[in-house]
A and B are shown apart, each in its own frame.
Chain A
Amino acid sequence: MVAWIGSRTVPLPTAIEQAAKLLAKSRCPVFSLDSDIHGCRSLIALAEQVGATYDHVNGRDLVHQVALHTDIGGFFATATEVQRRADVIVVVGDVPAVHHDLLLSLAATTPDLPRSGKRRWFHIRGKATLALSGKLQRRAKAVDAGSSDLPIDAVLGVLRASLAARKASVVLDNIDAFLGTVANADFPVFVFSHFGDAASLTMLQGMLIDINKKRRATALFLPSDDDAWGMVLTSTWMTGFPPRTGFSTGSPVYDPWLCDVDRMIAGEEADLHLWVSERDEVDPPRRSGLPTIVLTRSDRPVAGAAVTVRIGKAGLDHDGVVYSSRIGTLRSAVAKAPSDLPSVYVIVEQLQHALQGEDVASC
């Protein structure tokens, strides 16, 4: 059982046909995606075919991460290079739990380039920053630097000023240890993930610009979610743009406000929602009135969905390709428990095929 129209079980081709009909009829379809590179590749191609606007399921988390790359740029490194070369690791703010294994592996090793040496850790904290997890802290023995009174961007501002030997009005915890260590480090690396604000990112990269005038330093960017970052990369090569992007005019248009799928749904611009996720734990948002096509791991029809199709997961049910922060690039993910569940890629191919017989409406 892999397909439903409403709550009625149907053969997969019937569900595909129904989904294709809805896509063809829609004047303003929106897609929320969460799949591997192949799944995203096919869904973005489908978006172009039907003039859809697309974003990642967790697009809201991506906005500042994308903006860092589109507006600021900066210094970056791969985790593999960091593992071998960083003599100082500075964790900036909070790093999501999904990356704790990566951080643990950095804490379990010492640099071997350009020669064997020690690795020292700092954790830059603002008033809302959580402590490093117990296990990581036991291994890394990170020295906290920062302030429990200031937001993280202000802490970074003080650190930047202090590194540039400018007088700062506030005193941070352990600032002398931090300044002394970074000033003498050969390859300090600032590890960061998604901040809620652009100011922190600007401040951090500004600090790296300053340090690099005389010495080397770089940053390890750990996206909030590797699959989401893979989708960003795929969108960028396929259309020239990261999400949020849409094909409502035929050509890809990148506009983080205009192409905000949630906004389009709330504003009743969208008339069809294709929601795709390979994760077990997430359910599509329930919205009355908006026809929804759902590709999901669930073995039950999604309540309220016009069409539900059960899919497999890349790297589990079938082979896939995913972004991996561990190596800073794409990685082939072999099926761990091969199954007959169709991949997103296969379903989308069938949808595209079914759409060939339909006249696609446009906005």
Chain B
Amino acid sequence: MLIRLAGGEVIDPVNGLAGKRDVWIKGGIIVEKPVSKRADKTYDLSGCFVMAGAIDIHSHIGGGNVNTARLLLPEQHAAHLKRPQHTPLSNAGWSTFRTGCLYAQMGFTTVVEPAMSPSNALHTHMELADIPIIDKATLTILGNDDFLLSMIRDNASSAMIDDYVAWTVSRSRALGVKVINAGASAAFKENIRTFSFDDVVPSYGVSSRRIVEVLQASVGRLGIPHPLHVHANNLGIAGNAATAAETIGASNGRPLHLAHLQFYGYGTEGRRGFSSEAARLAELVNGNPDVTIDVGQVMFGQTVTISADVIRQYSGMRTASPKKSVLFDGDGNGGGIVPYRYRQDYYGSLQWAVGLELFLLIDDPWRVFFTTDHPNGAPFTAYPELFELLMRRDARNAKMAELDQSALELTTLASISREYTLDEVAVMTRGAPAKLLGLDDRGHLGPGAIADIAVYRKGQDIQKMFRDAALVFKNGDLVVRDGVVTHYRWGRALRLNPPSDKGIVKRMQAYHEDRYGLSLDWFTFPDSAISRENPFAEVACRS
């Protein structure tokens, strides 16, 4: 079927296309305007913007820790069913089903679950397979696991490290590698309570810095398109901007992605010893072209924090609201689930402002990524409000008037006049994520791209525009009309498949038999275990 999207205003910065033009779809792919062929179906998009489907690079949408959070907090989901929409957790996208629908309704067509424990890969992929409509991907967690830490301690060769990283990525069906507070979860099991970049995991004698460097180099050598995704040390702690600065400094002119930088944007100024260092961090990012970041914006209201940063989650348990949490000592990282309410008090106001400062002071929309670290800073359903805050200074000012002024005074937010353009939004949420993840087939509207397309009705109300897409196409299928899902389909999980060396498979077999008394097939699974047709789509590593 030949589909014509007629007369919409195209926003496709990747291909330098703007202005009114038609977009053509055939067989799920965007095609050149065909010569002397009539469309089988035409959509009149006058009065609409046309963008590629949006891509979320960091959103905790599935897997053991996410499911534990659901289990811990049935009341959050229950509450959402009765409450009117647009309060933060009223639309949390709590079940797999709702997650796919709510993302699609906003024009998002690909979402990355950024924290899959390799030992939990089957569970994670089973959940992702139950998220309808959108494509998914995962980042696999390394850096607190005994096998890697032992190799680093024993000065294993780069080739051996690469074999292990490749095997882990491949067997867990991941699109990239994440390291979460490198070494800290292992150290916490040895009763270490704080862990900085140059601290050492006692029984391995290996520092956090060393783990990050080893993994960053390996990811680069393996040609994994997405740079090492780093959740740095000291998350949430006053003065931790220094840790973020150290981590950026350690990128050594090679690609490195820092996750949810907002949570590291804190200094120690002010009466409460908690201030914004966002301007300094933004300058550092601006000056380090190999570094990319996502923000992890805080929005106000009830949420739950889900993290494999166990040391951090343990200290967060004190401020759990409601007062219950889970701390999980799993293989490697484990995880912690701590419900939390962001209040419009001093701390909440400061965190909110730090996030916006980062968005607005980092110049290059190709290197700053749009996230709330769902659900850690806010549920992803808060995105429409966040778009508005970025695109309208008066919306920011109006919100600032409600907040704690003594906190805002310690930020530069009031002085920032920048407003994101739609072009910049398209870069930040489409072109840049596709490039960062190595997904050439999406993030733009050029011929050959898959027809993941979001159409928004122009209007003054930015929130409404981004909450209820006029039309959304996934692989050429119309899936959303006027913010309502009209067609269900199953997306795929995008994965790399670097070949595994035979030697490493043997070593892993021996390791699992020796340490766990279990054969390796307890820890691996065939694609057919997902029980959906073509659950995975392979993405190539760079040669």
Contact = CB atoms under 8 A, between A and B. Distances in A.
Interface in A261-294: none
B77 interface: yes
* Interface size of B as a range: 35 or more
Interface in A3-37: 37
B189 interface: yes
A97 B528 CA distance: 32
A196 interface: no
Interface residues of A, number: 57
A237 B476 CA distance: 28
A73 B314 CA distance: 13
B146 interface: yes
Nearest to B531: A38
A70 B71 contact: yes
B482 interface: no
Contact of A113 (B62, B66, B146, B524): B146
Interface in B321-371: 324-331, 334, 337
A253 B146 CA distance: 42
Contacts of B188: 216
B499 interface: no
B96 A70 contact: no
Interface string B119-147: 11011001100100000000000000010
Contacts of B273: none
Contact of A327 (B81, B337, B518): B518
B191 interface: yes
Nearest to A108: B517
A112 B515 CA distance: 8
Output the residue of B97, B119, B334, B529 with the most chain A CB within 10 A: B529
B529 A252 contact: no
Contact of B329 (A71, A76, A321, A332): A76
A19 to B, nearest CB: 22
B68 interface: yes
Contact of A332 (B94, B190, B525): B525
Secondary structure type dominating chain A contacts:
mixed
Interface in A231-259: 232-233, 236-242, 251-254
Given A215-B191, A319-B528, A84 B515 contact: yes
A330 B123 contact: yes
Given A73-B72, A237-B95, A326-B518, A332 B529 contact: yes
Contacts of A56: none
Interface in B498-528: 515-518, 521-526, 528
A302 B523 CA distance: 38
A202 B450 CA distance: 52
18 contacts: A74-B327, A76-B328, A85-B189, A109-B517, A186-B190, A212-B327, A216-B190, A233-B123, A237-B96, A240-B70, A254-B77, A254-B78, A319-B528, A319-B529, A321-B529, A329-B119, A332-B122, A332-B525
Given A212-B327, A240-B74, A321-B122, 4 more contacts: A41-B126, A85-B329, A240-B95, A253-B78
Interface of B: 62, 64, 66-68, 70-74, 77-78, 81, 94-98, 119-120, 122-123, 126-127, 130, 146, 188-191, 202-203, 314, 324-331, 334, 337, 515-518, 521-526, 528-529, 531
